[in-house]
Amino acid sequence: MNLLDIRNLSIELESANNSILAVDRVSLSMKEGEVRGLVGESGSGKSLLAQALIGVLDERWNVHADRFHWRGKDLLRLAPDERKAIIAKDVAMIFQEPMSCLDPTATIGEQLEEAVDDGQLSGYFWQKRQQRQVAAANLLHKVGIKHHELCTKSYPHQLTEALCQRVMIAMALAGRPLLLIADEPTAAMESTNQGQIFRLLASLNQLKNMSILLISHDLETVTHWTNTITVMYSGQFVEAGTTEQIFNAPFHPYTRALVDSSPKANMQLPAKSRLMTLPGSIPILQHLPIGCRLGPRCPRAQQECVHAPKVTNYHGHQVSCHFSLKDTY
Amino acid sequence: MAREKIYQEEEFPTPLLQLWHNFRQNPIIMIGFGSFLFLILLAIFAPVLTPYSSVENHLDKLLLPPAWHKDGDVSFLLGTDNLGRDVLSRLMHGASLTFGLSIIVVLVSTIIGVVIGSLSALTTGIKSSFLNHFLDVILSIPSLLLAIVIVAILGPGLENTLWAIIMVLIPQFVHVTRNAVTEEFEKDYVLASRLDGANSLRILSYSIFPNIIEKIISQATLAQSAAILDIAALGFLGLGAPIPLPEWGSMLASSIDLFYIAPWTVYLPGLAILFSVIATNLVGEGMRHALKVRKES
Amino acid sequence: MLIFTIRRLNLLLFTLLLLTLLSFSLSYLFPGDPLVNMTGQAQATPEHLATLSSQYNFEQNIFKQYWAYLSHIANGDLGLSMASHLPISSEIMTLLPATIELSLVALAIAMMIGVPIGFIAAIKHKKAADNIILAFAMLGYSIPVFWLGLLAILVFSIQLGWLPSAGQISLLFEIEPVTGIQFIDILLSDSEYKWQAFKDASSHIILPACVVALAPATIFIRLARTAMMEVLETSYIRAANAKGLTFGQIIYRHAIRNALIKVIRHVGLQFANLVTIAMVTEVIFSWPGIGRWLIESIYQRDYTAIQGGLLALSSFIFFVHIVTDFVYAALNPLAREPHHGS
């Protein structure tokens, strides 16, 4: 049974004159214990998708979907508050720039203790306070911070970004979530720290069987750490499949371009030759192309691409393209 | 017959037009703007428009109530005061004094304050920190006290009151300009200009100034309402315009004793001050809001 | 924290020094003889003038004169008032506490009313409550304070008769002026009518304090609204929302503290504005404070009094400014040490 099953999720922005479809019919599904990567350029709507999942978008955004199942339960019939309550119990999220996601005027200890679930404690309220502190210290140990006393007494601006991200992961773990959404967790860090955070996430996945949705713009790092990948472009679903399928045999021209632009693929190029890139840039929200949004940039585009392509499934490898590269393999 | 506009073009109005378009959106602000223009017209054309002169005594009609009262006379629309002067004419003349002078005061102090502020932002080191502390000291003196001190130095009279208020408003402009210029100086486009070889004066006038003009304008609108209130307050305390001049604050002061027998002489000048300050504040709010919306879109 | 305190004390001393420099230069700027302006002895005989002149170093250069002036101030001698011939320092000591009382009570009222209303306006942004609050704030900001005072006396004292219109306390009570602040004096005195005196003093202070507090309260409404709107847009509020906290918990635990910090920074600047309004209100309500005394001094051309009053009042305002700086640093951990790098 799928942990999360979303079909044709769309997010519209209501502005003064018209409504813009920021995310256009994206489908996503996750199993238990799976690490899925969600890859796309900035502006592709992946963060929006994650925020719509958690339910933190404000009233300007209009979210609707054909199917939204969590552990088999249909969430679309429920009111937004109930939906948010059910999701909040089992899903946690960490953001980029972790230092700005922590309250600058509260110590780390206070914020951690706030995240500890009240249901896991027992006893009178002075006992609960003690238990909360112990629980917070345990959470810090779980993310690899051994000396928790100094950490709990400090303020966020006194720690490094990597430490703050570990604290955010600790706070996310407090609710014992089944799914952790990591929205570009390492965007603000150096590569050594990035490796540490990814290793931590991988160990959490293995030890606790916790699913992770890893959102990133860097296809290559994502392929190291994930089982399956979904690729998005400009709010539309592009391709999804296992990591080997995506990296070794990308069906969609966009995925192909992403794979080709990674350093590993470019190592075979002769010296002083052009790097392989896709011309142009991602369209802005005010001027979205009709049909397949990659159309203006795609090397294989033809007249049929003004109609949005449907998703075709080849043994678990899903592609949304009229002229996919399947035939070339 | 050729059709001119076949393709749907997006029009990009100039920033000034954008500002005006944003400004026009809110109807209440347009009412305020209309009142503001009305007051300006009144201030300029008061001598022509008033039915009577502001100092003419009608000794047979002392303390007449306004026209809607049963004892009132429609030729004296808002009644007369204890010396028989028509309140309406005095209020209209007062517009040119309280309101008109406030605009002049704000213009002068804006120019002087911005010049001093930008020059002081260019200095660095001990001079700059000394100026900073000096500014802090001046800003911590209550504005009325500072105005009183300056009037004490210069002596009484309308002109000296104006200078006093100008000198009270200048430190606020210096403070705002200085902060804005120092903030802009840290930014990279100034560094780029400097690397191109521009000297400080050129950077100031070409690059920085158009970017800080919005903050200066919003400070000017705040200063305008403060100036009206200050001129009226000084007039009320007897330190402003001399007695026969129909400045709204001094009209209020001279009618305190008549409170019981002629309450309209107290209500009406106060309402006039309230009306002009609200109009100024509405225009100021509208301009600040329009600037903010223009920046965001 | 220690360095912060030292820097602030440094600033305080430097500013006080600048203030004395300013008031020293005033005796030259005011019309009349500088020596007479500084000492206040307008009717002194020539021999007395000569002794004064040597006391204040008037034959020597300007730095020595400034030094003499400073040493006189350090001894508590601010000269005599030209109008009443009493030492100015004693007049200030009697009158300043009343102004302190009025302005601090008004500041408390303005903050306690203005800040929560501003927060509510920010939370209900773009709804009807926000617009109503903004409209009311604009009205309160535009009313001239002297007119408001007159109207308040008319409505509350004369027509409704609820509150008295002048003075600090009814003349029937004889309270020993120990500190000058009425409420403390009442508690310290051993009169039998303490509770009635307290009630009477409260009823005397309510009307002037509310009149003074109106314009600053509307400014606080606006400041609090902007601060809270900025805080509600930040990443950590969004992260707390994603953490699963309810809206009320987020506001109470995180948003209020951060928004309050932003507001407190401005309290120091607003206090000078508040004291200006208090000065005019003192005249209308015959409140025995230093504002009313200063305004009367200018009617009587009492330059020494203006000098001394300026020094005393500005020092008080700056002192409050420093105190709010300390409160701000206590609440905001980021402001305590200077930041190097990132």
What ipTM, to 2 d.p.?
0.81
pLDDT of the residue at C160: 75
Of A105, A106, A115, nearest to C243 by CB-CB distance is A115
Cβ of residue A180 closer than 8 Å to a chain C Cβ: no
CB pair distance less than 8 Å for B153 and C31:
yes
Task: Kindly list the residues from chain A whose CB atom is less than 8 angstroms away from the CB atom of residue C333.
Answer: 104-105, 155, 157
CB pair distance less than 8 Å for B249 and C11:
no
Kindly identify which residue of chain A lies nearest to residue C330, measuring between CA atoms. A105
> Looking at the DSSP assignment, which residues form a beta bridge with residue C172?
none
CA proximity to A67, closest of A3, A6, A144, A130: A6
C145-197: pLDDT as tens digits: 888 888 888 888 777 777 777 777 766 666 666 666 777 777 777 667 777 77
Higher pLDDT, residue B125 or B273: B273
CB atoms within 10 A of CB B222: 19
Q: How many CB pairs under 8 A join A and C?
A: 55
Higher pLDDT, residue C101 or C193: C101
Cβ of residue A264 closer than 8 Å to a chain C Cβ: no
C172-182: pLDDT as tens digits: 666 666 666 77
Task: Kindly list the residues from chain C whose CB atom is less than 8 angstroms away from the CB atom of residue B229.
Answer: 144-145
Residues B99-133: b if buried by 16+ CB within 10 A, e if exposed? bbbbbebbebbbebbbebbbbbbeeeeeeeeebee
In a domain, residue B18? The reply is no
Q: What residues make up the domain containing B184?
A: 28-296
> Looking at the DSSP assignment, which residues form a beta bridge with residue A69?
A5, A74
CB pair distance less than 8 Å for A114 and C245:
yes
Task: Kindly list the residues from chain A whose CB atom is less than 8 angstroms away from the CB atom of residue C258.
Answer: 103-105
Cβ of residue A54 closer than 8 Å to a chain C Cβ: yes
Residue C333 tokens read as 């951990």
Task: Kindly list the residues from chain B whose CB atom is less than 8 angstroms away from the CB atom of residue C269.
Answer: 139
In a domain, residue B8? The reply is no
In a domain, residue B146? The reply is yes
Q: With 50 as the cut, is the pLDDT of residue A159 above it? A: yes
pLDDT of the residue at A155: 87
CA distance C155 to A189: 65
CB pair distance less than 8 Å for C313 and B145:
yes
CB pair distance less than 8 Å for A105 and C261:
yes
The model's confidence at residue B232, banded by pLDDT at 50, 70 and 90, is: confident
- Cα-based distances in Å from B83 to B186, B265, C106: 61, 12, 38
CB pair distance less than 8 Å for A97 and C235:
yes
CB atoms within 10 A of CB B61: 15
C104 by Cβ neighbours in 10 Å (0-12 / 13-18 / 19+) ranks as middle
B111-164: pLDDT as tens digits: 999 888 888 887 777 777 778 778 877 877 888 888 888 887 887 778 888 888
CA distance C178 to C182: 9
Q: Any idea which residue has 């944003």 for tokens?
A: B22
> Looking at the DSSP assignment, which residues form a beta bridge with residue A14?
A19
pLDDT of the residue at C178: 67
CA distance B239 to B250: 9
A244-287: pLDDT as tens digits: 988 888 899 899 888 888 777 777 778 788 877 888 888 888 78
C4-56: pLDDT as tens digits: 788 888 888 888 888 888 888 877 777 777 777 777 666 667 777 777 777 77
Q: Work out how many domains chain B is built from and give that number.
A: 1
Q: With 50 as the cut, is the pLDDT of residue C342 above it? A: no
pLDDT of the residue at C43: 67
User: Where does A4-105+155-269+276-328 sit in CATH, by number?
Assistant: 3.40.50.300
Instruction: Tell me the angle at which helices A108-115 and A161-173 cross, rounded to the nearest 10 degrees.
Output: 20
Task: Kindly report the average pLDDT of chain C as a whole number.
Answer: 81
Higher pLDDT, residue B71 or A106: A106
CATH number at residue B283: 1.10.3720.10
The model's confidence at residue A226, banded by pLDDT at 50, 70 and 90, is: very high
Cβ of residue A104 closer than 8 Å to a chain C Cβ: yes
Residue A265 CA neighbour count, 13 Å, CB half: 17
Kindly identify which residue of chain C lies nearest to residue A92, measuring between CA atoms. C243
Task: Kindly list the residues from chain B whose CB atom is less than 8 angstroms away from the CB atom of residue C142.
Answer: 225, 274, 277-278, 281
Task: Kindly list the residues from chain C whose CB atom is less than 8 angstroms away from the CB atom of residue A103.
Answer: 236, 240, 254, 257-258
Q: What is the value of pTM for the model shown?
A: 0.84
Secondary structure class of A313 (helix, strand, coil): strand
What distance lies between CA B61 and its chain's CA centroid? 36
CA distance B195 to A170: 47
Mean pLDDT value of segment C325-330: 83
Mean pLDDT value of segment A297-306: 87
Give B259-286 as a DSSP string: TTT-THHHHHHHHHHHHHHHHHHHHHHH
Mean pLDDT value of segment C235-259: 84
CA distance C177 to B58: 52
Task: Kindly list the residues from chain C whose CB atom is less than 8 angstroms away from the CB atom of residue B270.
Answer: 144, 147, 150-151
